[in-house]
Amino acid sequence: MRTTLKIDTTAGKHRINPNIYGHFAEHLGRCIYDGFWVGEDSPVPNTRGIRNDIIKALKNIKIPVLRWPGGCFADEYHWKDGIGPRENRARMVNTHWGGVVENNHFGTHEFFDLCELLETEPYICGNVGSGTVREMQEWVEYMTFDGESPLVALRRANGREKPWSLKYFGVGNENWGCGGRMRAEYYADLYRQYSLYVRDYGAAPLEKIAAGPRGDNYHWTEVMMREAGHFMDGLALHYYTRVNDHNIVIEEPDGNKIYLAKPNAVRGSAVDFEADEWYAIMSAAYFTEELITKHSAIMDKYDPEKKVALIVDEWGTWFDVEPGTNPGFLYQQNTLRDAVSAGISLNIFNNHSDRVRMTNIAQTINVLQAPILTDGAKMLLTPTYHVYEMYQVHQDATHLPVELITGEHEHDGQKIPWLSASASVDDNGKIHLTLCNINLRESVEINCSLAGLNPRRISGQVLTASAMNTHNTFDQPEQVKPRQFNEYETLSDGLKANLPPMSVVLLEVM
Burial 10-48 (b: 16+ CB within 10 A, else e): eebeebbbbbbbbbbbbbbbbbbbbbbbbeeeeebebee
Query: Is 105 inside any structural domain?
Result: yes
User: Domain range holding 211?
Assistant: 4-402
Taking the C-alpha atoms of residue 87 and residue 91, their distance in angstroms, rounded to an integer, is 10
| Cross-strand pairs, 461 | 484, 506
Domain-embedded: residue 487: no
**In a domain? residue 493:** no
For the annotated catalytic residues, the residue numbers are 174, 314
For residue 128, tell me if it sits in a domain.
yes
Question: CATH no. for residue 174?
Answer: 3.20.20.80
The values of phi and psi at residue 93, to 5°, are: -95, 130
Residue 162: enclosing H or E segment and its boundaries? Answer: none
Alpha-carbon separation of residue 368 from 19, 74, 169 (angstroms): 20, 18, 24
Q: Tell me the pTM.
A: 0.97
The answer to whether the CB of 367 falls within 8 A of the CB of 24 is no
**Residue 457, in any domain of the structure:** no
Cα separations (Å) of 443 from 17, 187, 331, 482?
32, 48, 32, 18
Q: Which residues of the chain have pLDDT under 50?
A: none
Distance of CA 501 to the CA centre of its chain: 26
Query: What is the residue type of 40?
Result: E
Instruction: Specify the 3-state DSSP secondary structure of 299.
Output: helix
Going by C-alpha positions, the residue among 459, 469, 460 that lies closest to residue 502 is 469
Query: Which 3 state secondary structure label does DSSP give 388?
Result: helix
308 DSSP assignment = S
Given a contact cutoff of 8 angstroms between Cβ atoms, the answer to whether 177 and 119 are in contact is no
Give me the pLDDT at residue 1, please: 57
Spatial distance between the Cα atoms of 234 and 307, rounded to a whole number of angstroms:
8
Q: What is residue 172's predicted lDDT score, i.e. its pLDDT?
A: 97
Contacts with 235 (C-beta within 8 Å, 6 or more apart), sequence order: 209, 210, 212, 221, 224, 225, 295, 299, 308, 309, 310, 311
CB atoms within 10 A of CB 412: 9
Give dist(CA 313, CA 20) in Å, integer: 9
488 within 8 A of 5, measured Cβ to Cβ: no
CB 354 within 8 A of CB 471: no
Task: Please state, in angstroms and rounded to a whole number, the distance separating the CA atoms of residues 270 and 471.
Answer: 10
pLDDT one-digit tens code per residue, 330-371: 999 999 999 999 999 999 999 999 999 999 999 999 999 999
The pLDDT of residue 410: 86
Residue 461: inside a domain: no
Residue 243's nearest CA partner among 278, 216, 295 is 278
Q: C-alpha angle 142/174/212, rounded to 5°?
A: 95
Whether 230 maps to a domain, the answer reads yes
Measured from the Cβ of residue 85, the count of other Cβ atoms closer than 10 Å reads 8
What's the domain count of the chain? 1
Strands (E), 172-218: 207-214
Decide: helix, strand or coil at residue 482.
coil
Task: Report which of 278, 249, 254, 250 is spatially closest to residue 265, judged by C-alpha positions.
Answer: 249
Helix or strand run (H / E) with residue 418: none
- At 40-81, the pLDDT tens digits run 999 999 999 999 999 999 999 999 999 999 999 999 999 999
Contact call for residues 405 and 4 (beta carbons, < 8 A): yes
Structural domain includes residue 411: no
- Tens of pLDDT, residue by residue over 390-430, are 999 999 999 999 999 999 998 888 899 999 999 999 999 99
